[in-house]
Amino acid sequence: MANSLDHAKHNHTLCKNLRDGNIFYDWCVTTAFYSALHYVNLKILPCKISQDTITNIKEAQQKLNSPTLHDTRLKLVKLQCDTIAKQYRWLKDHAHNARYVTYKIPVGNADKAIDFLNKIAKYCTTK
């Protein structure tokens, strides 16, 4: 399995290529979210929850009693990375919309997704 940084960069490149091609804005937004997901994994894990060291998202889900892994990750982002929490939430919500509600995504949303992804990538890869 690829490590989080490699996977984040892979999806980041695909996201930009989709936008540059002026097609499939739904997939541009979706890949932006999944790239962001891998970038935030670099910042949120491992972590401490109630004195316990948590090393993976499943452990965090159990400890936080979250219904889904996505909800768990969002909680950890809010707790540990408040600077990018709004951008991450926007990507999560808009990727869900692109996958399950409508694939007709305006170009402005694709551009915003890339902008937010770039901010998240910078935050998560800067020491």
Rounded to whole angstroms, how far apart are CA atoms 22 and 25?
7
Q: Could you read off the pLDDT of 34-66 as tens digits, one per residue?
A: 999 999 999 999 999 999 999 999 999 999 999
Residue 7, pLDDT score:
95
pLDDT digits (tens, 9 = 90+) for 7-17: 999 999 999 99
d(CA 89, CA 82) in angstroms, rounded, equals: 11
CB count in 10 Å sphere of residue 94:
22
Q: What pLDDT, on the 0 to 100 scale, is given for residue 127?
A: 76
Q: Is the pTM here over 0.85, yes or no?
A: yes
Cα–Cα distance for residue pair 83/24, rounded to 1 Å = 29
Give pLDDT, residue 2: 58
| Residue-averaged pLDDT of the chain | 95
At residue 55, φ and ψ (nearest 5 deg) are -110, -10
**Has domain 4-125 been given CATH number 1.25.40?**
no
